[in-house]
Amino acid sequence: MRTSFANFLLVCLVLFGSAGICHGGELKKNFYKDSCPQAEEIVKSIIWKRVASNSTLPAKFLRMHFHDCIVRGCDASVLLNSTPNNKAEKEAIPNLSLSGFDVIDEVKTQLEKTCPGTVSCADIVSLAARDSVSYQFRKPMWKVLTGRRDGKISSQSEALANLPSPYSSFSILKQNFSSKGLSVHDLVVLAGAHTIGVAHCNFFSNRLYNFTGQGDSDPSLNSTYTAFLKTKCRNLSDNTTTVPMEPETPLSFGNNYYSNLKQHKGMFGSDASLLTEERPANIVDEMLVPGKFFVEFGQSMKRMGAIGVLTDNSGEIRKKCSVVNS
């Protein structure tokens, strides 16, 4: 018993560089079965209603969940507002397009009415990511385990230190994912999330205008596509214009990300980097097999959704998702 706990802490140390963010408890299927049987249905119905009138939301929730999990585990730290003494994750530059907070608040308000103090904000974020993407298919696209609890800390500097950069090479991204317990396979599969949503020009305009500092463009970007993107992003400093990450089907969740990549239309340097080594490039090819991406994405989301979770008596169940309980 003692040995296995020691081993467990060792695994935590190796994976996360800290024993403190592992808490031993496990997520469960339908955690709220007895305490709030309607919980998952309430989340789904509000999310579907909102997505029905705003098709940009699935990308917002998918990215929100990723950012939450990558910074101090999936603990809803991404939802906390700054306070006079603390700049929260929301203030970090890569937050740029984070939104949908009002929808999370609507879900939370309804859940507090039905089952006060029971359902965590961290679980709402994880369910919202699944349910929003699933609306297009009218059925749940992957399983979400629940039982996460909410953290009490959110920090701008931690967000900056943990969110992977769109300029990174494959070997850097590999290390960044591995430090969160995610494999190269998870990296390539989860990157497929860029099948939906938009990006601000400044995250990739170096590839259009000044790739090596000679006023040149990135030779690994499809030149037809480079010309098209230049008509959208007019200069290097444009940080207000957004462009769909998939030119043809920006709202449709599917494996087109990988066929786009193969045509050298990956938006960021980080996307393009997945073709620079054999191992990730082979996984890209695998994802082109019909049906494969959906299965793999669900499995990788399950691993992402378990990063550093707080369970049992750790953390708290926030009353309001944007502030810690007093």
Ligand X SMILES: *[C@@H]1O[C@H](CO)[C@@H](O)[C@H](O)[C@H]1NC(C)=O
Catalytic residues: 67
Residue 65 interacts with ligand X (CB under 6 A): yes or no: no
The correct pick among 59, 71, 124, 159 for binding ligand HEM (CB under 6 A) is 59
Please choose, from the candidates 188, 199, 190, 206, the residue with its C-alpha nearest in 3D space to the C-alpha of residue 247: 199
Beta strands in 175-236 (DSSP E): 198-200
Q: Which two tokens stand for residue 101?
A: 């907070």
Q: HSE (CB half, 13 Å, CA atoms) of 16? A: 20
175 touches ligand X by CB under 6 A = yes
Which two structure tokens, joined as six digits, stand for 131?
């349910």
- Does 264 sit near ligand X (CB under 6 A)? yes
Which token pair is 277? 């080594």
60 binds ligand HEM (CB under 6 A): yes
Of the two residues 110 and 222, which places its CB atom closer to ligand X in the complex? 222
How far apart, in whole angstroms, are the C-alpha atoms of residue 201 and residue 141?
Answer: 30
- Smallest distance from the beta carbon of 313 to ligand HEM, in angstroms? 29
Residue 95 touching ligand X (CB under 6 A): yes
Q: List binders of ligand HEM among 169-198 (CB under 6 A).
A: 173, 190-191, 193-194, 196-198
Q: How far apart are CA 39 and CA 157, in angstroms?
A: 33
Measuring CA to CA, which residue among 300, 310, 304 is closest to residue 27?
310
Which range touches ligand HEM (CB under 6 A), out of 23-31, 54-62, 108-116, 222-230?
54-62
**Contact partner, 281, from ligand HEM, ligand X, none, Cβ < 5-8 Å per class:** none
Residue 86 has φ and ψ, to the nearest 5°, of -150, 125
Where on the chain is the footprint of ligand X (CB under 6 A)?
A: 54, 56-57, 60, 90-91, 93, 95-96, 98-100, 162-164, 172, 175-176, 210, 213, 222, 224-225, 234-239, 241, 263-264
